[in-house]
């Protein structure tokens, strides 16, 4: 089975619908459940998504960005070949994200402009997009992570035109990969809510499949078993 996972940080169901991103809104889509999680921490949620277990208590805030899960604890080994691009808690590009966080702090210290920060976020995004599109078709599973909606959203969620450009871009990535016969699974860790011009994490995360799965408000930790079953069924029928 060939599968593509488009992992979009902070992609928010309400915004996907509001901007009418019809490539992100596939055959089945909805909101994920973060029941059991006290906070909406990015690394915690992606690590828990990868492993199917709530890892909130095992990931200290202080060292979360360098936290790594072992491959054998994730769903990745179910696939004969896989490629992940910039996935938090797994193949995260530390250098690029350290720079983003440094600039983000610089904006709050008034040492860096929002435009300079945005430019670096977009540059990193373009690099990841290139790597992601290049990998499609060469592995059983390609999982590409994009933090654009989160990184731009934190400083500009309340600025409609800017957010529209971000959602259009993410919709275009879904469009670019959806023509294949692969299963396309789009997932976010959490949603986002406006605090003035800024954005903060919220619970309304998003999931979407290009075929009916019959899920209803699935827990973010439930996809691990679902992917395992899908792969097993595939091998059983071939």
Q: Does 9 bind Zn ion (CB under 5 A)?
A: yes
Q: Which two three-digit tokens encode residue 125? A: 């995004």
Q: Which two three-digit tokens encode residue 1? A: 């089975």
Which residue, among 58, 152, 62, 44, has the nearest Cα to 107 in the 3D structure?
152
Stretch touching Zn ion by CB under 5 A, among 58-66, 128-136, 146-154, 220-228: 146-154
CB of 236 to Zn ion, least distance (A): 35
Cα separation, 79 vs 228, in Å, equals 9
CB of 34 to Zn ion, least distance (A): 11
**If you ran DSSP here, which 8-state letter would residue 24 be given?**
T
Cα separation, 4 vs 136, in Å, equals 8
Number of residues that bind Zn ion (CB under 5 A): 5
Q: Which two three-digit tokens encode residue 10? A: 């902070």
CB of 42 to Zn ion, least distance (A): 3
If the CB atoms of residues 100 and 150 are measured against Zn ion, the closer one turns out to be: 150
If the CB atoms of residues 39 and 113 are measured against Zn ion, the closer one turns out to be: 39
With residue 82 as reference, give the H or E element that holds it: strand 82-85
Contacts to Zn ion from residues 25-84, by CB under 5 A:
42
Which residues, listed in sequence order, are joined to residue 202 by a DSSP beta bridge?
Answer: 191
Stretch touching Zn ion by CB under 5 A, among 116-124, 127-135, 155-163, 181-189: 181-189
Q: Does 86 bind Zn ion (CB under 5 A)?
A: no
How far separated are the first and last CA of the chain, in Å rounded? 10
Which residue, among 28, 60, 20, 23, has the nearest Cα to 41 in the 3D structure?
60
CB of 206 to Zn ion, least distance (A): 12
CB of 88 to Zn ion, least distance (A): 8
If the CB atoms of residues 47 and 135 are measured against Zn ion, the closer one turns out to be: 47
Ramachandran angles phi, psi of 208, nearest 5°: -160, 135
Cα separation, 221 vs 73, in Å, equals 13
Which residue number places its CB atom closest to Zn ion?
42
If the CB atoms of residues 169 and 189 are measured against Zn ion, the closer one turns out to be: 189
Stretch touching Zn ion by CB under 5 A, among 7-15, 126-134, 161-169, 204-212: 7-15
Q: Which residues bind Zn ion (CB under 5 A)?
A: 9-10, 42, 150, 189
């Amino acid at each position: 089975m060939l599968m593509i996972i488009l992992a979009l940080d902070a992609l928010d169901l309400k915004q996907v619908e509001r901007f009418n991103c019809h490539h992100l809104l596939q055959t089945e889509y909805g909101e994920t459940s973060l029941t059991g999680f006290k906070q909406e921490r990015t690394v915690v949620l992606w690590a828990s998504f990868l492993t199917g277990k709530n890892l909130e208590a095992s990931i200290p805030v202080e060292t979360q960005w360098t936290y790594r899960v072992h491959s054998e604890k994730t769903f990745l080994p179910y696939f004969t070949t896989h490629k992940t691009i910039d996935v938090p808690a797994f193949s995260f590009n530390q250098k690029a994200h350290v720079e983003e966080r440094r600039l983000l702090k610089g904006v709050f210290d008034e040492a860096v402009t929002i435009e300079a920060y945005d430019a670096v976020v977009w540059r990193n995004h373009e690099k990841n997009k290139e790597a992601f599109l290049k990998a499609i078709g060469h592995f059983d599973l390609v999982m590409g992570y994009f933090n654009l909606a989160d990184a731009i959203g934190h400083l500009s969620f309340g600025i409609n035109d800017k957010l529209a450009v971000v959602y259009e871009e993410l919709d275009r990535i879904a469009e670019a990969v959806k023509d294949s016969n692969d299963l396309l699974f789009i997932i976010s860790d959490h949603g986002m809510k406006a605090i003035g011009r800024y954005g903060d994490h919220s619970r309304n995360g998003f999931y979407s499949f290009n075929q009916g799965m019959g899920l209803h408000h699935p827990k973010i930790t439930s996809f691990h078993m679902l992917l395992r079953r899908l792969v097993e069924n595939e091998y059983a029928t071939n």
